[in-house]
């Protein structure tokens, strides 16, 4: 089968090649899927660079999620059937076919198009999981950084549904603004600390901050939190060193935790996962624009797809289709 493959870690534009590889064979608890669409996510680039928690095994087909139709089931699979249309997460989705463990396969409602379904297994479940980890009371205030990202927008919608008050922190040419859930500016400033100080002075401290950026602005996020609240780091968009005094965490009893989708799913009950799926499919059926698509490419169009995915202020995800 045709696939986008890399033989060593590196920058995607340098190491990815389109070539034939043998199709994988599903083991007892896996299914084989004919893939029809796959998004290009920040995590895909980290995986190709060898900087992700899931490590490649060479030669490795790229891609970590997608949507498609099951074409064969392992001997121990009873909950899924050949012909089922499913969203899924596993290594090697930028290929004609991929295998996935049944625990990472999600049946897709018929009204959901491939362009939305192919993005289901990472960002929507992450947004749901982050809010679940926060376990906040109604009307608590949450801060989501990288506020124009897909995850942050999903967070804002889900938070509002739960009666929470979300604030999104966005950057505009190096300056920062804080937006409410309707994307109206509630404060702006030259840097993150200054912007958050204004928000806290006018609207109060946050009860949780959800951050995929990292870097030195972490200190400003911690300073904007109420005592006994929580900062969750879930990305490394800025992976530079941080200087932090223990007293900044200690005196205000702040909890700083990490979140990874796979670790969270591993510890999630089946009941909670089905609630998450039902709520998210309902949300995406009503608001498919929460998972926007900027452009679609064939699997052999690697370079153009990467350029599209890396564009700053991109309006949606680049997809590989068929």
Ligand X SMILES: NC(=O)c1ccc[n+]([C@@H]2O[C@H](COP(=O)([O-])OP(=O)(O)OC[C@H]3O[C@@H](n4cnc5c(N)ncnc54)[C@H](OP(=O)(O)O)[C@@H]3O)[C@@H](O)[C@H]2O)c1
- CA dihedral (64, 70, 72, 78) in degrees, to 10, reads 100
Orientation angle between helical segments 270-286 and 123-134, nearest 10 degrees: 120
Beta strands 97-101 and 141-144: pairing type?
unpaired
Q: Per CB under 6 A, which region of 10-18, 39-47, 54-62, 271-279 contacts ligand X?
A: 39-47
Residue 62's SS3 state is coil
Our finding on whether 63 is near ligand X (CB under 6 A) is no
Omega before residue 91 within 30° of 0, cis: no
- Segment 216-245, which members bind ligand X (CB under 6 A)? 234-235, 237-238
Taking residues 246 to 275 in sequence order and writing x for each that binds ligand X by CB under 6 A, - otherwise, the string is: -------------xxx--------------
Residue from 42, 56, 124, 166 in contact with ligand X (CB under 6 A): 42
Radius of gyration for the chain, computed over Cα atoms and rounded to the nearest angstrom: 20
Minimum distance from residue 216 beta carbon to ligand X (Å): 11
Minimum distance from residue 237 beta carbon to ligand X (Å): 4
- Segment 84-123, which members bind ligand X (CB under 6 A)? 122-123
- Segment 303-322, which members bind ligand X (CB under 6 A)? 312-313
Residue 261's SS3 state is helix
Q: Per CB under 6 A, which region of 80-88, 145-153, 158-166, 201-209 contacts ligand X?
A: 145-153
Taking residues 194 to 213 in sequence order and writing x for each that binds ligand X by CB under 6 A, - otherwise, the string is: ------------------xx
77 contact partners, CB below 8 Å, separation of at least 6: 26, 28, 29, 30, 31, 102
Contact between 158 and 133 (Cβ < 8 Å):
no
Q: Residue 181: which of 155, 203, 215, 199 has the closest Cα? A: 155
Number of residues located near ligand X, criterion CB under 6 A = 23
Residue from 43, 77, 187, 232 in contact with ligand X (CB under 6 A): 43
Minimum distance from residue 191 beta carbon to ligand X (Å): 12
Positions in the binding site for ligand X (CB under 6 A) = 41-43, 122-123, 126, 146, 148-151, 171, 212-213, 234-235, 237-238, 259-261, 312-313
């Amino acid at each position: 089968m045709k696939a986008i493959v890399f033989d060593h870690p590196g920058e995607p534009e340098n190491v990815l090649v389109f070539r034939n590889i043998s199709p994988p064979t599903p083991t007892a608890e896996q299914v084989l899927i004919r893939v029809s669409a796959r998004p290009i996510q920040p995590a895909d680039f980290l995986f190709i660079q060898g900087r992700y928690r899931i490590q490649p095994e060479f030669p490795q087909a790229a891609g970590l999620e997608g949507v498609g139709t099951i074409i064969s089931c392992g001997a121990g699979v009873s909950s899924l059937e050949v012909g089922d249309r499913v969203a899924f997460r596993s290594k090697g989705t930028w290929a004609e076919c991929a295998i996935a463990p049944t625990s990472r396969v999600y049946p897709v409602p018929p009204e959901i198009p491939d362009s939305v379904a192919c993005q289901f297994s990472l960002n929507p479940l992450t947004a749901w999981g982050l809010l679940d980890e926060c376990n906040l009371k109604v009307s608590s205030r949450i801060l989501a950084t990288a506020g124009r990202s897909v995850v942050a927008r999903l967070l804002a919608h889900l938070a509002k549904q739960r009666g929470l008050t979300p604030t999104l922190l966005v950057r505009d040419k190096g300056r920062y603004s804080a937006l409410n859930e309707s994307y109206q500016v509630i404060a702006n400033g030259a840097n993150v600390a200054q912007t958050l100080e204004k928000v806290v002075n006018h609207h109060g401290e946050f009860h949780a901050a959800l951050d995929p950026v990292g870097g030195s602005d972490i200190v400003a996020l911690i300073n904007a939190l109420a005592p006994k609240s929580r900062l969750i780091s879930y990305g490394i968009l800025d992976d530079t060193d941080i200087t932090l005094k223990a007293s900044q965490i200690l005196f205000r009893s702040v909890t700083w935790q990490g979140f990874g989708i796979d670790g969270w799913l591993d510890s999630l009950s089946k009941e909670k996962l089905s609630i998450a799926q039902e709520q998210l499919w309902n949300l995406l059926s009503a608001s498919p624009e929460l998972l926007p698509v900027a452009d679609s490419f064939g699997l052999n169009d690697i370079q153009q797809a990467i350029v599209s995915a890396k564009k700053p202020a991109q309006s949606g995800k680049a997809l590989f289709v068929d």
